Amino acid sequence: MSFLLRRRRLVRDSGIALAAACAVPRLLRAAPAQWPNRPVRLIVVYPPGGVSDGMARVLAEPLAQSLGVPVLVENRPGAGGSIGMGALARATPDGCTLAFSAISPITLHPLVARVPYDALRAFAPVASVMRTPVLVVGTPAFAGRGFQELIALARSQPGAVRWATSGVATIGHMVLAQVRMQSRTAITHIPYAGGGPQLNDALGGQFEVLSTNVAAQQLQYIGEGRLQALAVGSAARIEALPAVPTLAELGYERANRDSLFGIFAPARTPVAVLQWLNAQINRVLSSDAVRVRLRGAYNLPVGGAIEDLAQEIAVDRRRNRELVSGDRSQFD
């Protein structure tokens, strides 16, 4: 099978309305005429105060300078990102409304829950932004030490271990589902509306464990002994926690997931606008100032072409479909 045919099948499987955009040469860099002619709205699909919200605001200022108009950040949290992505799906496809989100509202949510959009046709990928490791931590309610003691507790007391995530069908929920399936344990899922609100409850011991994105605040609490780092979802151990194993090292390879975040537009946004936005986002991501801010918050800058994000979506959606079909009950 030729490379071109493989790529066409991959993009088709992603269910993203991207065929026209992918046909445009990457060298297209001319700004679309009379665009943008008003401020650009950047919907952040998570609550204020979290890692993703902070990084969206890091991007907004230099992106506004590149586009020549203000970029207004608007938080639309709820349902693990599905509320904000629903707002994007209803927006006018003129390039003046975008969303900053992990790919899970497109690749996972529609497989396990009803969502207010057609994930196969509602969105046009614009650019990958960053990868964020997942951090699994124990709270004051967990008296054990280490991940294996957590699993032992879950086996000895089915349902007693409460595991919080930032919502149903988020990457943290995916990690939990994978751990439950592989360890054959009954762990109670506690979904929150986003990453920020759960942190205070974690410090107060309202549940035993949570999966969240790696961030400076969480690392500070770990250093103070208020939270216990149990595992990370990442290709390798992270520099800030060199003694903490990855989930793959612990034997949970399929749970070893990180979060890929990108910028999206409504479907039918003009191709020239998508290409121009992609070029400007890549330009912003290549700047030393932005890269320092991203890496300082333990995020890996990504960037790349529109096709690259479409392929990531295709792979992730196919993998999630296989997992969900294996045991749908784990994602309730």
What is the SS3 assignment for 48-113? CCCHHHHHHHHHHHHHHHHHCCCEEEEECCCHHHHHHHHHHHHCCCCCCEEEEEECHHHHCHHHHC
Residue 5 confidence (pLDDT) above 80: no
What's the pLDDT band for 272 if we cut at 50, 70, 90? Answer: very high
Q: Please write the tens of the pLDDT for every residue from 281-297.
A: 999 999 999 999 998 88
How much is the pLDDT for 128? Answer: 98
Residue 47 confidence (pLDDT) above 50: yes
Question: What is the pTM assigned to this prediction?
Answer: 0.81
What is 3-132+258-331's CATH number, 3.40.309.10, 3.90.25.10, 3.40.190.150, 3.40.190.10? 3.40.190.150
Q: Please write the tens of the pLDDT for every residue from 88-124.
A: 999 999 999 999 999 999 999 899 889 999 999 999 9
The Cα angle at residue 28 between residues 94 and 312, in degrees rounded to 5:
75
Handedness of CA 316, 228, 301, 77 (dihedral sign): positive
- Greater confidence (134 vs 330) lies with 134
In 3-state terms the chain splits into helix, strand, coil percentages (rounded to 5) of 45, 20, 40
What is each CA distance from 114 to 75, 79, 118, 169, 258, in whole angstroms? 21, 10, 10, 11, 24
| Range 244-249 average pLDDT | 97
What is each CA distance from 26 to 16, 176, 236, in whole angstroms? 19, 39, 32
Residue 14 confidence (pLDDT) above 60: no
Intervals of CATH 3.40.190.150 along the chain: 3-132+258-331
Residue 15 confidence (pLDDT) above 60: no
Highest mean pLDDT: which range of 35-39, 127-131, 169-173, 210-214: 127-131
- Greater confidence (261 vs 23) lies with 261
How many other C-beta atoms are found inside a 10 Å radius of the C-beta of residue 215?
22
Residue 252 confidence (pLDDT) above 50: yes
How much is the pLDDT for 329? Answer: 60
CATH superfamily of domain region 133-255: Periplasmic binding protein-like II (3.40.190.10)
- Greater confidence (291 vs 326) lies with 291
Instruction: Look at residues 254, 268, 262, 230 and name the one whose alpha carbon lies nearest to residue 326.
Output: 254
What's the pLDDT band for 2 if we cut at 50, 70, 90? Answer: very low
Residue 23 confidence (pLDDT) above 50: no
How much is the pLDDT for 197? Answer: 74
Intervals of CATH 3.40.190.10 along the chain: 133-255
